[in-house]
Structure 1
Amino acid sequence: MLTGSCHCGQSQWTLEGDPGPVTACNCTLCRRYGALWAYDYEGERIALSGPTSSYSRIAEDEPGLEVLFCPACAGVLAWRGLRLRPDGRRRMAVNLRLAPPDEVAHLPIRHFDGLGAFEDLPSRGRCVGDLWA
């Protein structure tokens, strides 16, 4: 199980099992946060604890997700889909930059073009640990 917490420690997440590759997205939101996302579904492998506040894109009439952050230190914990999938599940992702570096260093990074084509980009062969080297 992986764990992550905000800077002040009041808000945390857990992710059960192998997170698989993590995603670095270049959309207008993710590139500003510098997050690395690992995905699953609310109430399944991902759990949040502690207080959170949320932000949804105010420029959109029907935003697709909300970003969850610590109300004390503003650490970005996760995002959560605002619409249920056809199977009734809600997509979520946690920010792996809040996990202990040695526990996620080996995970491969995949890049996603959320700004332009909205598609996966070719692998660069990097892992999370390469960002901190």
Structure 2
Amino acid sequence: MIQGSCLCGAIRWQFEGQPDGATACNCTACRRYGVLWAYDYEGEGIQVSGPSKAYVRGTALEFHFCPHCGCVAFWRGLRKDEQGRTRIAVSLRLAEPEAVASIPIDHFDGLDSFDDLPRDGRCVADYWF
């Protein structure tokens, strides 16, 4: 299990297991937030707790941030899938570095093509510096 929290500790999340990858997206929101996402479903592989404020982006998702320290902690889908599940992603930048250092980076072109791009061999540790 991987755990993360915002700077002040008001928002906390848990990711069950180890993600297959951490997504670095270049869309207008993600590149500004500087996040690396790990995905699952709310209440299944990911649990979040604490107060948050949401920025609703279009009709697909909402970005949640701490109302105290301002850290972007997670995003949540606005629609449930066919099984009634809600997609959610947590920012791995809020975890302790050693817990996520070896997770490979997946690149997603959210700005232009909406395509997954090939892995380039980097992992989360390469993004800390």
Same fold, TM exceeding 0.5? yes
**Partner of residue 30, structure 1:** 30
C-alpha RMSD over aligned residues: 0.9
TM-score (ref. length: structure 2) = 0.96
Identity level (%): 60
TM-score (ref. length: structure 1) = 0.94
Q: Which ranges of structure 1 fall in alignment gaps of 5 or more residues?
A: none
Q: Which has the higher strand share?
A: 2
Deviation at 1:82, TM superposition (A): 0.1
User: How many angstroms apart in 2 are the aligned matches of 1:81 and 1:75?
Assistant: 19
Between the two proteins, the alignment pairs up a number of residues equal to 129
**Partner of residue 39, structure 2:** 39
User: How many angstroms apart in 1 are the aligned matches of 2:42 and 2:10?
Assistant: 20
Question: Which runs of at least 4 in structure 1 moved beyond 3 Å after TM superposition?
Answer: none
Q: Which ranges of structure 2 fall in alignment gaps of 5 or more residues?
A: none
User: How many angstroms apart in 2 are the aligned matches of 1:37 and 1:131?
Assistant: 13
1:111 aligns to what SS in structure 2? strand
**Partner of residue 68, structure 2:** 72
User: How many angstroms apart in 2 are the aligned matches of 1:101 and 1:18?
Assistant: 14
